[in-house]
Structure 1
């Protein structure tokens, strides 16, 4: 059993050069059906499940709801002494298995009672409130960008932080941006700079969406100005917007930044700016991640919730509220409205 499902022709179809080319094309589209990070996680999920099966003398194929149910139970209460996974991690692991089975031409019914009942029991017994990363406020982001120098790296990182914050972007969305549409095969969107601001067209989980980023009140904190400065001094007019810089710091390269750079940048500048004065370094670093930018916009923007929901690309208002760390609670008092 191979770890990588392949797209092939049926045995009764005679191959040809054209068909072989189409197989490669179809494989490329299939690989682009999910984000690279998601695909990498799904691949790890399948390897882990395969190893778990082998150690118990079982075969992962064909899909067996009973076997998967036992696997989920072992993740929640491991028999080998390894750390138990949280229900949210177990549910994501199940999604990875479902995806892998479909990729191999099979189907795993996650609603089968052997899976659903076990998963519901795990949630009921082990579920805990989600651990949320700290939101970055407007004062925080100003202090963070103030720690950056005005060399080429500093211009790039300033644009990353401000664009990510004002756009409420995921770290993968930031680094996947190109200057124009279809500049590169791995593009996740492109940028149009206008007089009033920047329009980002982004490929997200739910399809393409447009993100409007208006100009700020000053050049020091304006995300559009920061982006213009980076593109001008880096001389980038094609391909990835955010790239690495040469060791001497004098030139930009053509290499797209990894999304981990965004997470490291947030933690480093938060620490340099000492935005939570008095906290131990380890505690402060654990409080922030790439999602802190999205949570910061959702929590700080004093506008109607639906505009924040649109900017973040959420399908529901409830999902947006999960990002609002300082929501105006009890603004609507249903107790009094009900006559009590």
Structure 2
């Protein structure tokens, strides 16, 4: 299905009426009109429930879609097999985009089209994702890597090395707290950046409760137990940083200058990522550490020590049945639950 090309349109659902009650004095709305109005209100309401990061990602994807339709000379509200497969091909050939990037752009484009009331046929979307799988296979066969790839999980040995490499300065105490809390609750960078001092609540001899507000999976409160090793105890690390910084409220993680002066403003998600990357460099780890390395690390290390899917999802804020968690588990289970292990080779 297509419509006239208008690249000025934004990646959101159409403006929805705030009410379906006709107060203008014009003819009463028909049942069909009322149903259409309810559909518009529902679409707008559902779109508003998406997390801010998701809305931004979809908006970025829609702008890329607009660029593509402009280059291709097709209507912006095109949803045919050719339009969607062509988008995958365009991202591959003109942008040299990674598989993960194309997947995200394609998802955003489909969401944007549906937001404008354009039905996306299952055959069209299936063809586009099959084209993407073909691209992924060709890259693998050619040994070509595009994008950063999956984050390398941080093991407990890595975590211990990074913690020990943190200096004894106030900034070093902050870095250790970021590192250990981030690992323990499998936090995203944005979640660490959004933490307030009052979000980390004492649970007595058990440790701390980290209240992360409302995340992708709903209201989120995660347990932070005391560690058995001081080098990797997240509770001790938090208390040491908080005491050194003299904080009682405000952002949990803040900028510290070279004179150990602690600023009032909190670190951004990007700055949190830079802190984590520096921790990896200090410890001279043989791979690049990212914010997601902590998240992947918690899942893999927990699985290695016998945690089940539900426990890991609860601790890291993943939705039950998460494909990402299954992927982390596979890296462990392919060895511990290997069909060849006990056959006597």
Same fold (TM over 0.5): yes
Residues 162 and 226 of structure 1 are in contact (CA less than 8 Å); yes or no, is this contact kept in structure 2? yes
Map Cα deviations across residues 215-252 of structure 1 (whole Å, 9 max, x no partner): 11244431111112222332332332222235743123
Say whether residues 1:90 and 2:111 are aligned partners: no
Instruction: After TM superposition, give the deviation of residue 299 of structure 1 in Å.
Output: 2.4
Distance 1:47 1:205, change over 3 A: same
Q: Using the alignment, how far apart are the partners of 1:145 and 1:117 within structure 2?
A: 47
Matched, 1:135 2:150: no
String of CA shifts for 1:246-275, please: whole Å, max 9, x gaps: 57431231x232222232222222122113
Q: 1:221 to 1:71 in 2, by over 3 A?
A: same
Residue in 1 that maps onto 2:201:
192
Partner of 1:329: 334
**CA distance, structure 1, for counterparts of residue 185 and residue 55 of structure 2:** 25
| 1:213 aligned residue | 224
> Which segments of structure 1 move beyond 6 Å, counting only runs of 4 or more?
10-14, 28-32, 335-338
Query: 2:197 aligns to what?
Result: 179
Query: Do residues 237 (structure 1) and 248 (structure 2) align?
Result: yes
Q: Distance in 1 between matches of 2:259 and 2:192?
A: 24
Q: Which residue of 1 aligns with 2:279?
A: 269
Offset of residue 328 of structure 1: 4.5
The match for 1:320 is 325
Aligned to 1:169: 187
How is 1:1-340 mapped onto 2 (pairs within 5 angstroms)?
A: 1-3=8-10, 5=12, 7=15, 9=17, 33-61=49-77, 63-66=78-81, 68-75=83-90, 77-78=92-93, 82-103=94-115, 105-109=116-120, 111-127=121-137, 131-180=149-198, 190-195=199-204, 196-202=206-212, 203-245=214-256, 248-253=259-264, 255-276=265-286, 284-285=287-288, 288-301=289-302, 302-306=305-309, 307-314=311-318, 315-316=320-321, 319-324=324-329, 327-329=332-334, 331-332=336-337
Task: Provide the rounded CA distance (Å) in 1 between the counterparts of 2:45 and 2:125.
Answer: 31
Unaligned runs of 5+ in 2: 1-7, 25-43
Question: d(CA) in 2 for partners of 1:145 and 1:206?
Answer: 30
TM-score, structure 2 normalization: 0.73
* 1:295–1:324 contact (8 Å) kept in structure 2: no
8 Å contact 1:212–1:311 — kept in the other structure?
Answer: yes
Q: TM-score, normalised by structure 1?
A: 0.74
> How large is the RMSD of aligned CA atoms in angstroms?
3.4
Unaligned runs of 5+ in 1: 15-27, 181-189, 277-283
How many equivalent pairs are there? 301
Distance 2:292 2:322 in 1: 17
Are 2:201 and 2:210, in contact at CA under 8 Å, matched by a contact in 1? yes
3-state DSSP class of the match of 2:152? coil
Deviations 1:103-139 (A, max 9, x none): 5x42442x43233223223314534679432221212
Give the secondary structure class of the aligned counterpart of 1:329: helix
Distance (Å, rounded) in 1 between the aligned partners of 2:79 and 2:159: 49
Shift of 1:10: 7.1
Distance in 2 separating the partners of 1:256 and 1:336: 49
**Which whole-Å CA distance do the structure 1 matches of 2:260 and 2:292 have between them?**
28
Offset of residue 59 of structure 1: 2.9
Q: Residues 310, 64 of structure 1: CA spacing in aligned structure 2 closer, same or farther, 3 A cutoff?
A: same
> Is the 2:196–2:250 Cα contact (8 Å) retained in structure 1?
yes
How many angstroms does 1:162 deviate by?
A: 0.4
Write 1 or 2 for the structure with the bigger share of helix. Answer: 2
